[in-house]
Amino acid sequence: MKITFDNFEPTELLPAEQVPWPHPDYTDLNDWLFEQASEVFEAFRYHQPSSQYDLALSLWHRAGRPTDGFECALWTKEEALG
């Protein structure tokens, strides 16, 4: 189901730091947000990249953590933080 402002409920989102690992690559997550939540993507596209990622990560988690179309493997916390 596409995410729009009509069905977008921010109070239902986990804070990004509470979303369980593994996490997707920024590019894959950005593409997913554009495809699945274009209204939200357009509203947040000029925010800081970290804010965009946090919102997209929370929405992705709420949507069931789909990985269809992702080009990169999901990152473990150890891989992401190096």
Q: pTM to 2 decimals? A: 0.79
pLDDT for 2: 74
* CA pair distance 8, 40, nearest whole angstrom: 9
- The tally of CA atoms less than 13 A away on the side-chain side of residue 18 is 6
Residue with more model confidence, 65 or 40: 65
* C-alpha closest to that of 13 among 61, 79, 78, 65: 61
* CA pair distance 81, 44, nearest whole angstrom: 25
- 5: pLDDT confidence band, cut at 50, 70 and 90? low
* Token pair recorded at residue 1: 């189901």
* Token pair recorded at residue 52: 């965009």
- 65: pLDDT confidence band, cut at 50, 70 and 90? very high
- Average pLDDT estimate for 1-15: 75
Instruction: Give per-residue pLDDT as tens, 9-52.
Output: 777 788 889 999 999 998 999 898 888 888 777 777 767 777 78
Domain locations in the chain as residue ranges: 21-81
pLDDT for 3: 75
pLDDT for 1: 65
| Pure H helices in the chain | 26-36, 38-44, 49-62, 77-81
